[in-house]
Structure 1
Amino acid sequence: MYEWDEAKDASNRAKHGIGFAMAEAFEWDNAVFQQDTRFDHGEERFRAFGFIAERLYCLAYTMRGDNIRIISLRPMHMKEAKRYGLGKD
């Protein structure tokens, strides 16, 4: 179901302190989704804003067949939480 590049996972750990394996606990049912059209990556990319263990995260991903290919995972910024009505008021 999930896949990722190991070098990108290591880079994400160094930058954000989070490994892509944490995405397996992402709460998709309550997430807010946004297509990422900021750049032409040659594929459709999306961002999902939601919870992992009661903390808000931003998960960037694309679909590869039936698999979710993780591009980035980081804690959500407060301004994003407010924009999407997530978290504490």
Structure 2
Amino acid sequence: MQSRFKDHIKLTDLTWDNEKNILNIKKHGLYFEDSVYVLNSDTVTFIDDRVNYGEERYITLGKLEERLVVLIHTNRDEFIRIISMRKANEREQKIYYERLEKTG
């Protein structure tokens, strides 16, 4: 878990599948392009080990404007590859605020 990414993340640090982005916009109303704001907010990140995806995936909880969102991503080469983004549910909001409080 971390409370903030070490470096300022730029849009050019990110990559994603354009078709998946369109599906995410239709389903959740969130654009992968906006994940740069989430990654530069106060974040809580942990490894997504629920399933063996064949790669290490991360779950990041962070803010997009005043909304708390869940960002699923992985590292590919020198890029952060965005897999999905959606609004955080109540359980995820609780985790976010509790962990941020602990890390100060």
TM-score normalized by the length of structure 1: 0.88
Q: Choose from 50, 58, 78 the match for 2:90.
A: 78
Which residue of structure 2 aligns with residue 14 of structure 1? Answer: 26
CA gap of 1:18–1:68, structure 2 versus 1, over 3 A, is: same
**Which structure 2 segments of 5+ residues have no match?**
1-12, 99-104
- Is residue 58 of structure 2 the alignment partner of residue 46 of structure 1? yes
Q: Does 1:56 align with 2:68?
A: yes
- The alpha carbon displacement at 1:18 in A equals 0.9
In the aligned structure 2, how far is the partner of 1:78 from the partner of 1:28?
Answer: 22
- Residues 1:66 and 2:78 are matched in the alignment: yes
Aligned to 1:84, what secondary structure does the other structure show? Answer: helix
- RMSD value over aligned CA atoms? 1.4
> How many percent identity over aligned positions?
36
Unaligned runs of 5+ residues in structure 1 are none
Q: Give 1 or 2: higher helix fraction.
A: 2
Counterpart-to-counterpart distance in 2, 1:28 and 1:58: 14
The size of the alignment, in residue pairs, is 86
Q: Distance in 2 between matches of 1:27 and 1:64?
A: 16
Residue 35 (structure 1) aligned to one of 31, 41, 47: 47
The DSSP-based 3-state class of the residue aligned with 2:50 is coil
2:36 pairs, out of 24, 29, 37, with: 24
CA contact (8 A) 1:27 1:52 kept: no
